[in-house]
């Protein structure tokens, strides 16, 4: 609780107070170095929030604790992703799932316990991968790999590429750039699976869920010039990335606060075995 309150008071509130000024100066609201956070911290046009936090272990730890507090609550359980998305087709063929930006692999650990024939590759920045824990017997099916998701995808021919809590930290130009890095690696029929909030029309669904999602939409704007998206915005995003993506839609299990967004690659086939 202390870390959540500290993150709100010391980081989010000052960013929010300077967001209007940032929007006036940078109306495109697309660059992570031109946010309310950057204006508040005197780093506009110099560095984004994560670069600022990297210089302060206290702020980094506080944000990490705040995010753990948020995502550890009711409606965020991994069981919604593990049990309510169709992983069965991948598991039956002993397929491969790449968790892009997957930190220390906690998502893949839960997936691997449920889907025992699937192989997983967890990608994140070198510093994160270097501190990844020993996964014991699951280490035979979960591999860590250093990767920058703004560069060409290095795992070719996987069955699915998973982005959990990733796209909502990206403005549309950066989300497009990120997803386009997949294209040279994709085989025909490969899935792109996004696990994030999906905004609905005002007044539709739970008022509490709507408040949380719209608050987070404003927070991501203030901190990163990013956003939460509606189903239509997700569909348009994939069309902008490449028209050969077939948007399959959005599903949200009963009780979950997060949705699963899926698109299928219908372009040229990578045409080879999975390569790391």
Residue numbers annotated as active site? 168
In this structure, how many other beta carbons lie within 10 angstroms of the beta carbon of residue 131? 11
- The Cα 170–Cα 220 span in angstroms is 9
- Catalogue the long-range contacts made by 105-109 (C-beta closer than 8 Å, 24 or more residues apart): 105/132, 105/133, 105/135, 105/142, 105/144, 106/78, 107/78, 107/81, 107/162, 107/164, 108/142, 109/135, 109/138, 109/142
- The Cα 190–Cα 168 span in angstroms is 22
CB 224 within 8 A of CB 33: no
Give 137's Cβ-side CA count (13 Å radius).
3
Q: Among candidates 243, 83, 87, 235, which has minimal Cα distance to 160? A: 87
CB 177 within 8 A of CB 140: no
In this structure, how many other beta carbons lie within 10 angstroms of the beta carbon of residue 116? 10
């Amino acid at each position: 609780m202390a870390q959540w309150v500290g993150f709100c008071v010391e980081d989010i509130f000052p960013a929010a107070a300077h967001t209007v000024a940032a929007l006036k100066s940078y109306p495109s609201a697309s660059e992570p170095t031109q946010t309310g956070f950057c204006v508040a911290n005197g780093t506009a046009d110099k560095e984004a929030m994560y670069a600022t936090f990297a210089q302060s272990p206290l702020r980094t730890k506080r944000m990490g604790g705040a995010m753990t507090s948020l995502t550890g609550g009711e409606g965020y359980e991994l069981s919604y992703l593990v049990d309510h998305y169709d992983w069965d087709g991948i598991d039956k063929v002993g397929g491969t799932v790449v968790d892009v930006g997957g930190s220390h692999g906690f998502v893949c650990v839960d997936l691997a316990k449920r889907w025992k024939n699937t192989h997983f590759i967890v990608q994140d920045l070198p510093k994160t991968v270097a501190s990844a824990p020993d996964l014991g017997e699951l280490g035979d099916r979960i591999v860590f790999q250093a990767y920058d998701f703004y560069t060409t995808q290095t795992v070719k021919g996987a069955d699915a590429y998973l982005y959990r809590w990733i796209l909502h930290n990206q403005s549309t130009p950066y989300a497009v750039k990120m997803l386009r890095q997949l294209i040279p690696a994709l085989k025909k029929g490969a899935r792109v699976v996004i696990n994030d909030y999906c905004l609905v029309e005002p007044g539709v669904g739970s008022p509490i869920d709507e408040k949380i999602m719209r608050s987070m939409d404003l927070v991501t704007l203030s901190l990163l010039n990013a956003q939460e998206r509606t189903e239509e915005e997700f569909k348009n995003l994939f069309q902008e990335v490449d028209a050969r993506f077939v948007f399959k839609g959005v599903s949200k299990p009963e009780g979950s606060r997060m949705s699963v967004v899926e698109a299928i690659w219908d372009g040229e086939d990578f045409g080879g075995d999975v390569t790391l």
